Structure 1
Amino acid sequence: MTIEMFEDDAPNTVANMISLIEKGYYDGLNFHRVIPDFMIQGGCPQGTGTGGPGYDFDDECTPERRHDSAGILSMANAGPGTNGSQFFIIHGPTPHLDGKHTVFGKVTEGLDVVNEIKQGDVMEKVFVLQKRDHVYEVETL
């Protein structure tokens, strides 16, 4: 699948994701939580939903970016300011998540792949196809 990230709207979240991807953080991790017709979630190094990269960072929720369609990419968290490495992709509109989870991208190719992912499926290799010409460093709490 191919995902476009919204750097203008969520620059720190995108910096975090690109930084982790380029370190190989997501390679070999699984989708530990899959809820049919709702979402798929991954990014936990323990594969249980309890782990992260060892730091947290703030939310970047904006009224312009909403959970309004299939393929929206958001940060999973345990409350405000607890973003780390876990993310989810929704299967359809979920407005109850607006303002609680940072929307920072959208699947542009391969939505059918999202719909086929089962709990435990592995992200074999995650890579960045294109990015802006600057250093991506996350500002942590």
Structure 2
Amino acid sequence: MSKTELANYKFATLVTMEGDVRFELLGDSAPKTVANFALLAKSDFYDGVSFHRVIADFMVQTGDPLSRDDDPSNDGSGGPGYQLEDEFNKKTPKLVRGMVAMANANEPNTNGSQFFIITADETAWLDGKHTPFGRVVEGMEMVDKISKAEIDENDHPQKDIIINDVIISRE
């Protein structure tokens, strides 16, 4: 499947143990990022990963394949084995509540597989630093529930919150 075909997917549904979260994919503003996410999802890359970083009233983060192991100290450091460039243009939306964006290594062009969903009303300090590629359209209450999980001193949930599947669709 070509990158153009992958970028044409319109929705993703995270099937989690807490419930489903459906988001619209923003292929118009971030086609390479959407294509990468769709490719990883269709290859079951995200199946079994956990939400490894949770900060109430800010965001929940997932997408690290290392979160599948029994060592929480390495969570947040894994990826697909390559990095993607950031995608910012006139169509790039602001990072506000319900937006889905790529996590990075606090450096430009270090996107991979990790992403986060914003629970804060606005996060202007992140605009231009993290590529937004989705907008939650259903299940924001599940994201809010995840964001209120009990965490340890490293913002890691005390109880694993697992993504069972990611379903990519055109409608």
User: Normalising to structure 2: TM-score of the pair?
Assistant: 0.73
| Cα separation, 1, equivalents of 2:25 and 2:166 | 14
SS at match of 1:125: strand
Q: Which runs of 5+ in 1 are unaligned?
A: 132-141
The 5-angstrom pairing of residues 38-117 of structure 1 reads: 38-47=58-67, 48-63=75-90, 64-67=92-95, 69-78=96-105, 79-92=107-120, 93-117=122-146
Number of the residue aligned with 2:169: 129
- The counterpart of 1:12, out of the listed 12, 27, 32, is 32
* Conservation of the 8 A alpha-carbon contact between 1:62 and 1:99: no
Larger helix share, 1 or 2: 2
| Cα separation, 2, equivalents of 1:71 and 1:121 | 19
Larger gyration radius, structure 1 or structure 2: 2
| Cα separation, 1, equivalents of 2:54 and 2:89 | 26
Q: Tell me how large the CA RMSD over aligned residues is.
A: 1.2
Larger strand share, 1 or 2: 2
User: Normalising to structure 1: TM-score of the pair?
Assistant: 0.88
Identity across matched positions, percent: 47
Q: Which runs of 5+ in 2 are unaligned?
A: 1-20, 68-74, 150-156
Amino acid at match of 1:66: K
